[in-house]
Amino acid sequence: MNLNAQDALERILSKAKAVGAQTADAMFEESESLSVEVFEGAVKNLERSDNVGIGLRVLVDGRPGYSFTERLTEEAIERCARDAVALSRFTDPIDIDLPLLSVGASGHDLDLIDPSAAEWTPDQMVMACLEAEEEARAADPRIHNVPHLGTTRSRGRMLLANSKGFRGSRESASVSFGIGVVARESEIDKMGWEGISWRNAANLAPKAMAQEAVSRAVSMLGAKPISPGKIPVVFDERVSGQFLGIFLGSFLADAVQKGQSRLVGKIGEQISVAGFSLSTQPHLKGMSGSKLFDGEGVLTHPRALVEDGVLRGFLHNLETSRKDGILPTGDATRSYTGKVSAGFSNLMVKSSTEVSKEKIFCAYPKILHVVKMEGSTACNAVSGDISIGVQGYLIENGCTIPVDRVSLSGNFFDILYKLEACGDRYRPGIHSSFVPALVFSEMSLAS
């Protein structure tokens, strides 16, 4: 018989102590979702998922051991506790103090759940897909296929507890809709995507999203390479977060402490243009990365890592903050299957020069507007070397032509100084990456 969430957490912590752990923390997660996929006017797939799991970290003489189980029976939980303690003898010690304070009565409301999300019925979900497909096919005769079309509603719950008495929980729910269309002209296929998540279905606009996907696909027809050389580049807000994301590992204290970051020893120094700021924002209302406490139970707070171009700090968990001799910062990330790491809650980028994309396009005689990146594996996250295939538009003297089969190169830490402006908006919906369009004065383009 399965134990409920609270009982399972209490049982695993007490069992861990009984078999030799001095301290321990445990995370319980459960999630439920329903998703529908439509192809050519008919439902192809309907999926319902229901997951539970509990993950344990023990410390035995400072040595961590990790285990998890998706079986929540008494026997499975006991085995999990014994495994974690047994595994701790392999690892090297770490120095951490688990937090004492419980969260829950803080009165903060992050709006992570809207009960109406659960009221979105399977029939309504199918209808949204059918409308979107019809809209997409009617929007342009060159739409040749709609291979990806689906919608999901999901909800989840997380509870964290430790042997010092910390107890915290978080619940969330969301709906999402995505469409991918293929436009064909002269035997050439181009794909256009749109996908957005919200807290409830009222905000979803399937027809508008279908039109957006169509216009993205159609506008790329006839794309070709342009001549190589140096060129100003604007990364659209659709991809700017993904682009920055390749290199953000350099802001992890763990990477810095292990010498795997070029930002080592640079706190207090200028690393980008004045006016540029980059921060972690855990308290944004309703966003995916929003949280009151982190993966180790430390209270979160908004914090700038780069302020006016100056490096102010790194992302820490308990282990790395102790090593650096600073107070815990509340950036720990964790899932029930994994070990503790660190990350942005919600990443936010701002610049003192925020302008609309239209103004950006007009401000340069020639600029490459990047809307799609194709694999980042030739980029080096540690050295900052950029070598990345992109698609987008060349905007030159008011004319726009689609561009593909080109690649951009440079170095991330160099181009931070070439940031000339930011766009004035973030991409819509709920997510955890608030990065506006980024304009760099110059990158190298190869074709």
Partner 1 sequence: MDAFRAARIIDLARTRGADFAELFVEETQFSSLLLRDRKIESATAGTEFGIGLRMIFGSQVLYGHTSREEEESLFKLVEDLAGARPRGRSHLDLGDPIDGKPLPEKLRSRAIHPGDPMLDGRMEAVRKADEAARAVSSKVAQVSATVLHRHSRIAIFNSEGLDASDDRTWTRMTVAVVAEDGGQRQTGSEAPGLRRGLEFLVDLDVQKLATVAADRAVRMLTAQPAPAGEMPVLIGNGFGGVIFHEACGHPLETEALRRKATPFAGRIGEAIAQPCLTAVDDGTIPDAWGSLDMDDEGSPTQKTTLIEKGVLRTFLSDRIGAAECGVPRSGSARRESYRYAPVSRMRNTFIAPGESSMDDMMRSMNNGLWAVRMGGGSVNPATGEFNFSVEEGYMVRGGKVEEPVRGATLTGKGHEILPRIRMVGSDLEFAPGTCGASSGLVPVCVGQPSILVDPILVGGRA
Name which of residues 123 to 152 contact partner 1 (CB under 8 A): 123, 126, 145, 147-148
Rounded least distance, CB 290 to partner 1, Å: 26
* Alpha-carbon span 378 to 175, nearest angstrom: 34
Q: Is 49 in the site for partner 1 (CB under 8 A)?
A: yes
Closer by beta carbon to partner 1, 348 or else 373: 373
Interface residues for partner 1 in 254-273 (CB under 8 A)?
Answer: 258-260
Q: Quick one: which of 57, 58, 55 has its CA closest to 71?
A: 55
31 - beta bridge partners? 51, 156
Binding mask 272-311 for partner 1 (x = CB under 8 A): ----------------------------------------
Closest CB 92 distance from partner 1, rounded Å: 4
Query: How far is Cα 106 from Cα 325, in angstroms, rounded to an integer?
Result: 28
Q: Give the torsion sign (CA, 245, 246, 251, 257).
A: positive
Q: Interface with partner 1 includes 2 (CB under 8 A)?
A: yes
What distance in Å separates the CA atoms of residue 176 and residue 150, rounded to the nearest whole number?
8
322 to 351: interface string for partner 1, x by CB under 8 A: ---------------xxx------------
Our finding on whether 92 is near partner 1 (CB under 8 A) is yes
Q: Report, in Å, the least distance between residue 288 CB and partner 1.
A: 21
Instruction: State yes or no: residue 246 binds partner 1 (CB under 8 A).
Output: no
Which of 105, 268, 377, 397 binds partner 1 (CB under 8 A)? It is 377
Residues in 192-231 at the binding interface with partner 1, rule: CB under 8 A: 228-230
Q: 3-state DSSP call for residue 41?
A: coil
Residue 116 CB, shortest distance to partner 1, in Å, is 18
Answer yes or no whether residue 42 interacts with partner 1 by CB under 8 A. yes
Judged by CB under 8 A, the residue of 4, 14, 22, 51 near partner 1 is 51
Nearest to 169 by CA among 302, 285, 16, 29: 29
User: Which residue shows structure tokens 């459960």?
Assistant: 30
Would you say 49 or 106 has its CB closer to partner 1?
Answer: 49
Can you tell me the distance from the alpha carbon of 316 to that of 101, in angstroms, rounded to the nearest whole number? 19
Q: Quick check: 406 and 446 in contact, CB under 8 A? A: yes
The strand pairing partners of 182, in sequence order, are 145, 191
For partner 1, the closer of residues 47 and 171 by Cβ is 47
246-337-260 Cα angle (round to 5): 35
Interatomic CA distance for residues 122 and 227, integer angstroms:
50
**367 contacts 232 by C-beta, under 8 angstroms:** yes
Number of H helices, E strands in the chain: 9, 19
Q: Does 44 bind partner 1 (CB under 8 A)?
A: yes
Decide whether 65 or 168 has the Cβ nearer to partner 1: 65
Cβ 311 to partner 1, closest distance in Å? 18
Minimum distance from residue 88 beta carbon to partner 1 (Å)? 7
Helix ranges restricted to H, 98-239: 122-139, 206-219
**Nearest Cα residue to 113 out of 59, 169, 181, 162:** 169
Tell me the closest approach of the beta carbon of residue 69 to partner 1, in angstroms: 4
Check residue 76 for interaction with partner 1 (CB under 8 A).
yes
SS3 label, residue 201: helix
User: Contact region for partner 1 (CB under 8 A) — 300-308, 322-330, 360-368, 386-394?
Assistant: 386-394
Q: Write down the least CB distance from residue 1 to partner 1, Å.
A: 8
The answer to the question of residue 75 lying near partner 1 (CB under 8 A) is no
Residue 412 phi, psi (nearest 5) = -55, -45
Q: In the set 20, 62, 122, 286, which binds partner 1 (CB under 8 A)? A: 122
Q: Which residues pair with 408 in a beta bridge?
A: 388, 445
**Under rule CB under 8 A, residue 244 binds partner 1:** no
